[in-house]
Amino acid sequence: MRIVLFGAGSLGSLLGGLLAREHDVVLVGRDPHVAAIREDGLRVGGEFDYRIDPEVTTDGTGLTAALALVTVKSYDTDEAARTLSTGEFGTALSLQNGLGNEERLAAELDCPVLAGTASYGARLIEPGAVECTGLGRVVLGPPEGGESTLATMIGEAFAESGLETTVADDMPRRLWVKCAVNTAINPLTALTGTKNGVVLDEPAWPIAREAAHETARVARESGVDLSEEMVVDALERVASATRGNTSSMAQDLRKGRRTEIDAINGYVAQQAEGSVPTNALLTGLVKTWENSHGSG
**SS3 letters for 174-202?**
HHHHHHHHHHHHHHHHHHHCCCHHHHHCC
Using an 8 Å Cβ cutoff, are 99 and 179 in contact? yes
Q: Reduced to 3 states, what is the DSSP secondary structure of residue 38?
A: helix
pLDDT tier at 294, thresholds 50, 70, 90: confident
* Predicted confidence (pLDDT) per residue in 117-170, tens digit: 999 989 899 999 999 988 999 999 999 999 999 999 999 999 999 999 999 999
Q: What is the pTM of this model?
A: 0.93
Catalytic annotation, residues: 178
pLDDT of amino acid 293:
86
Question: CA triplet 56, 59, 65: central angle to 5 degrees?
Answer: 65
In order of their start, the domains of the chain are 2-167 (3.40.50.720), 171-292 (1.10.1040.10)
pLDDT tier at 20, thresholds 50, 70, 90: very high
Tally of CB atoms within 10 A around 3: 25
Using an 8 Å Cβ cutoff, are 163 and 19 in contact? yes
Q: Which amino acid is at 8?
A: A
